[in-house]
Amino acid sequence: MDHSHPVKVTDHFRVSPPLGSVPTTSLPLTFFDYPWLLCRPMERLFFYELPYPALYLTHTIVPSLKSSLSLTLQHFFPLASNLMCPPSPRKPYILFKDGDSIPFTVVESTLDFDQVIGDQARDVRELQCFVPKWPPTRVTSDDTRVVPLLALQVAVFPNSGICIGAKVLPRAWRQGWRHIYDKPNPHREAERSGLQSMRGKLSRTDCRHRLETKLPETYFGNCLAICFVPVKKRELLGEDGIIIAAKAIGGKVKELERGVLLGAEKWISSWKEISEQGRLVTVAGSPKLRAYETDFGWGRPRKTEVPHVHASGSFHLCESRDGRGGVEIGLAISKGQMDVFHGIFEQGKQNLI
């Protein structure tokens, strides 16, 4: 299969809330925003089966999406805003001005729709071409970096369907916060040597119903705590490794009952230390996010993917698309590793029969 030109750009728009519907608004970043500064860009793809000709998809479906997006942004305008990253020591903030917009690209794909949405191992480039390109970062006269927060792309598969792709929270905004998490730490080497015999799991915990101050139901923003579960490497590799890991995670969950913000001052430093050692495994998504309930009026997606796992070394969890309570797992590794993984996975299935 030729991967050199899997998609062709057919149109490009900028979509904003209706002019005059949202006043100029400045929003400071919250405490719960900070950990995401260490993340790679988040990418999500939704594939829908729509067996219509290309002209119908581009002249009817796409304009409807643009109109709906504009009206939605009237209520969720931060998504069309820019992250303003002024020079240190000033802190970044989110700024919306009338006319701010989201880049919206339309492409046509030559790939086989059924092949793309299949569960088989495939070249990750088949998914990367459906991820929107990030617009360039601007720099103002006072050296403030202006970074968009969201980019969208719709890929049309003639007579088959469409893919809606989103890319959010760009890595570029880390540069605006470098003065926060890159401060010299005289104890860093000592801490690092003390962790060498450990394996760690960093997970994110929903705080919306665990805070002392109750959040309003209309709250729209990050509200996740970071949990670090350390376990000795030799224990994980032992015969009872899975049991030990499960007990360690269960103990950390019980600790949340005493307060989700305990140890919050070490969230970023712990994340950064473990990440630098190459001992960090992260999970993208969750079955509780109900990605397959994302309905734009065409029913449930045929498939949803999270392509950024190939760059972050993480794996993706999602509820099963058939709605029967199962879980989908996605990961991106080299072909050699995938062949080995596939063999072990198939053997495990046979042992369960």
Q: Do 270 and 316 belong to one domain? A: no
Q: Do 155 and 104 belong to one domain? A: yes
Angle at the Cα of 280 from the Cα atoms of 233 and 224, rounded to 5 degrees: 120
pLDDT of 134 reads 87
pLDDT of 228 reads 80
Do the Cβ atoms of 124 and 172 come closer than 8 Å? no
The string of pLDDT tens digits covering residues 321-350 is: 887 778 888 888 888 888 898 888 888 878
pLDDT of 4 reads 62
pLDDT of 112 reads 93
Strands (E), 169-276: 198-206, 224-232
Identify the residue with better confidence: 35 or 236.
Answer: 236
Q: Do 217 and 293 belong to one domain? A: no
Placement of tokens 């709605």 in the chain: 323
> Within a domain: residue 154?
yes
CATH number at residue 301: 3.30.559.10
Q: Do 174 and 294 belong to one domain? A: yes
In the chain, the number of structural domains is: 2
> Within a domain: residue 243?
yes
Closest CA to 161 of 105, 104, 112, 106: 112
- CA 308 to the chain's CA centroid: 7
Q: Do 182 and 206 belong to one domain? A: no
Q: Do 125 and 180 belong to one domain? A: yes
Least confident range from 34-38, 108-112, 181-185: namely: 181-185
- CA 265 to the chain's CA centroid: 24
Which of the listed residues 216, 243, 276 is the one where a domain comes to its end? 276
d(CA 216, CA 197): 43
Q: CB under 8 Å to 178, separation ≥6 — which residues? A: 88
Q: Do 19 and 133 belong to one domain? A: yes
Q: Do 79 and 158 belong to one domain? A: yes
Give this prediction's pTM: 0.83
Q: Do 258 and 342 belong to one domain? A: no
> Within a domain: residue 191?
no
Q: Do 329 and 252 belong to one domain? A: no
Share of the chain above pLDDT 70, in %: 87
Which of the listed residues 233, 248, 276 is the one where a domain comes to its end? 276
- Residue 261, domain extent: 197-276
Q: How many residues does the chain have?
A: 353
The string of pLDDT tens digits covering residues 85-111 is: 999 899 989 999 999 999 999 999 999
> Within a domain: residue 192?
no
Supply 307's token pair: 């392509």
Q: CB under 8 Å to 232, separation ≥6 — which residues? A: 197, 198, 199
Q: Is the pLDDT of residue 3 over 70?
A: no
The string of pLDDT tens digits covering residues 277-315 is: 766 677 778 888 888 999 988 999 999 999 888 776 678
> Within a domain: residue 141?
yes
> Within a domain: residue 160?
yes
Report DSSP state, residue 57: I
Arithmetic mean of pLDDT, 114-125: 87
> Within a domain: residue 221?
yes
pLDDT of 215 reads 84
- CA 301 to the chain's CA centroid: 18
Q: Do 52 and 178 belong to one domain? A: yes
Q: Do 36 and 111 belong to one domain? A: yes
Which pLDDT band, with edges at 50, 70 and 90, does 199 fall under? low
Do the Cβ atoms of 204 and 260 come closer than 8 Å? no
**DSSP helix/strand/coil, 27:** strand
Supply 191's token pair: 């801490």
> Within a domain: residue 320?
yes
The string of pLDDT tens digits covering residues 223-267 is: 888 888 888 888 888 889 889 989 998 998 888 888 888 888 888
Which of the listed residues 248, 276, 304 is the one where a domain comes to its end? 276
